[in-house]
Structure 1
Amino acid sequence: MVEVDVRAEQVTDPCTEHGEGPVWDTAGGVLRFVDMLAGAVLTFDPVTGGVTRSAVADVAAALRPRRSGGWVLATERGFALLDPGDLEAPDDAAPVWIEAFTDKGIRMNDGGCDPQGRFYCGTMAYSQDPGLGTLYRLDPDQSVHEVVGDLTVSNGLCWTPDGESAYFVDSPTKRIDVCAFDPKTGELQDRRPFVTITDGLPDGLTVDADGGVWVALYGAGAVHRYDRHGTLDLVVEVPVSQPTSCAFVDRDLFITTTRENLPEGAEPAAGALFHLRPGARGVPPLAFAG
């Protein structure tokens, strides 16, 4: 039986134009997320409810912690390695910039780390023309590799708790795919449909400790949970139409949203951060080893 109408609650004012990529900062006890096309990383303190904002790059697509401290950030056409404290004092930061490609019509969009500490981020064309996106992998030695090509809007990517498989979204397919994962090479293999989405577009996703897959449905105002067999067993209502991603902090689920393509004055809460406690437990974010 599918439980419906579990509702997420707004916990910040609208603070992003295109909010994305929530990730828990274990060391800082805060949630980080991005305002992607503004090139900003935002920090939400769940104790005070406060939000701070740091401009860090031309595009801030996806953010993950580094095992050595600091952060790895997917930028417009590559990656940046940030030291501890760089998000709090961006004017004093001296990131290591790593170029992945040069095409100015393409940008990074969403990604994540594998259990071995490699960072992946996929791309899309600004025009959203089909087939121009690629999933890239940044290895700890700072080398960049193409993993999957012929994508359109490369989006959510997350590994199963046992690290044997990865879930992956190319949004216009209206599917979540599952891939076998080779831990030695970092390759994603045997990509096949896991679930097909009938309402909205699949966007960012996360996995809970029981192997359930949580996906934000852009345009549908919802987050769905699917069990490891692909059965829908929970529908979370989000009171704006365009949720973009979600992440657990232990038993708390946070959801980012966007204002993009909305008429002026429509959906005043769009761009805010939302929260609920759905009864599942998350897993700590995987970190970059470089």
Structure 2
Amino acid sequence: MHLTALPCAPGPGRLTEGPVWHAAHGDLLWVDITAGLVHRGDLVDRDDDSGLPDLRLTTTVGLDRPVGAVAPCASGGLIAAAGTTFLRIDEAGAVSEFVAPAVPDDGTPRRMNDAKCDPRGRLLAGTMAYDTTAEAGALYRLDPDGTVTTLLGQVSISNGLGWSPDGRQLYYADSPTRRVDVFDYDAATGALSNRRPFADTGPAGLPDGLAVDAEGRVWVAVWGAGQVRAYTADGELHAVVTVPASQVSSCAFAGPGLDLLMITTAADGLTARQLAAEPDAGRIFVCRPGTRGMPVPPFADDPARASSYPTSPHEHRGSV
């Protein structure tokens, strides 16, 4: 299956990443990593006959450091993986420090990259070196009580987090390996085991952010290829979404029915000639992939409110 994504209205960012549908608010969150910006936007009608919505930027919060990803909190506000720390952003946009992992003190500057909440509302977040030094990053788990656990070490560029519909498998990409791996995931403890290859993106590009649909297919943003590729649970190629921007950074299911695929791209590092050939690089794109995603749980810092969060696409709230 071949699909094409359309650009949305918000202007290009430098390193646009981390889209996540905020079910409680019925809107989309995303970040511009190197600019330190956290954006929020509404889905609105598009002025054409494509049948797809557009995106309208509503608010932006600026941070004093790069921000790899954000996730909604069950208590309200957001949790952000930013710099080498975890921050809280309240609903008024005020920012406070929450906790920081023990990052190696070896003189290598690092930052947070991709992050996402597991089915129990724990946040998994990975790091990378600014200069992409091999094996300088790690993957951490942040529990709602502030405990930080190192799950993986010797990671080069931590990316691509997503869980199977039953929560028993975690899909993960260390981008320079050009491979998405899958782990067995213990939902009760948040422990990983039995790492094995899942899908190889080959010479065309690097696996970046990913999303899993309700049927267990894994939709992978392929940086450098101008594509999102969907793989079946057996690792077979199912669909390709063509994106008119080479540096495709992530994707997320969004909308009231979780039937839209929102795709982020980046302009960072492109030459003037490349930017002229890719005028929409750095924008968010949208397509309707013919399947539904799964609700992403919030960071479970308020168990009572977290338990009332939608757990299927049919419970999803919001408006287009």
TM-score (norm. length: structure 2): 0.85
SS of alignment partner, residue 32 of structure 1? strand
1:208 aligns with 2:216: no
1:196 aligns with 2:216: no
Q: 1:204, 1:215 within 8 Å by CA — same for their partners in 2?
A: yes
1:226 aligns with 2:226: no
Q: Alpha-carbon deviation of 1:235?
A: 0.4
Q: 1:57, 1:75 within 8 Å by CA — same for their partners in 2?
A: no
- Tell me the equivalent position of 1:285: 296
- Tell me the equivalent position of 2:310: none
Q: Alpha-carbon deviation of 1:111?
A: 1.5
CA distance in 1, matches of 2:43, 2:291: 19
Quickly say closer, same or farther: Cα 1:277–1:67, change in 2 above 3 A. same
Structure 2: runs of 5+ lacking an equivalent: 46-54, 302-320
Q: 1:256, 1:274 within 8 Å by CA — same for their partners in 2?
A: yes
- Tell me the equivalent position of 1:259: 267
- Tell me the equivalent position of 1:11: 8
1:47 aligns with 2:44: yes
Runs (4+) off by over 6 Å: none
CA distance in 2, matches of 1:214, 1:246: 8
User: Which of 123, 127, 130 matches 1:126?
Assistant: 130
Letter in 2 for 1:256: T
1:83 aligns with 2:90: yes
Q: Alpha-carbon deviation of 1:156?
A: 1.0
CA distance in 1, matches of 2:199, 2:216: 14
Instruction: Provide Cα deviations, 1:3-32, integer angstroms capped at 9, x if missing partner.
Output: 23x100001243311000000111222111
Q: Quick check: 180-189 or 274-283, which moved more?
A: 180-189
Alignment root-mean-square deviation, CA: 1.4
Q: Quick check: 96-105 or 182-191, which moved more?
A: 96-105
- Tell me the equivalent position of 2:96: 95
User: What's the % identity of the aligned pairs?
Assistant: 44
Letter in 2 for 1:14: G
1:151 aligns with 2:143: no
- Tell me the equivalent position of 1:183: 187
Within a 5 Å distance, the mapping from 1:60-71 to structure 2 comes to: 60-71=67-78
Instruction: Provide Cα deviations, 1:83-124, integer angstroms capped at 9, x if missing partner.
Output: 2332xxxxxx14233122455611111011111111011111
Letter in 2 for 1:96: E
Letter in 2 for 1:258: A
Q: How many corresponding residue pairs?
A: 281
Q: Alpha-carbon deviation of 1:126?
A: 0.9
Q: Alpha-carbon deviation of 1:129?
A: 1.2
User: Which of 103, 112, 120 matches 1:116?
Assistant: 120
- Tell me the equivalent position of 2:24: 27
Q: 1:40, 1:57 within 8 Å by CA — same for their partners in 2?
A: no
TM-score (norm. length: structure 1): 0.93
SS of alignment partner, residue 67 of structure 2? coil
CA distance in 1, matches of 2:41, 2:95: 24
Q: 1:14, 1:268 within 8 Å by CA — same for their partners in 2?
A: no
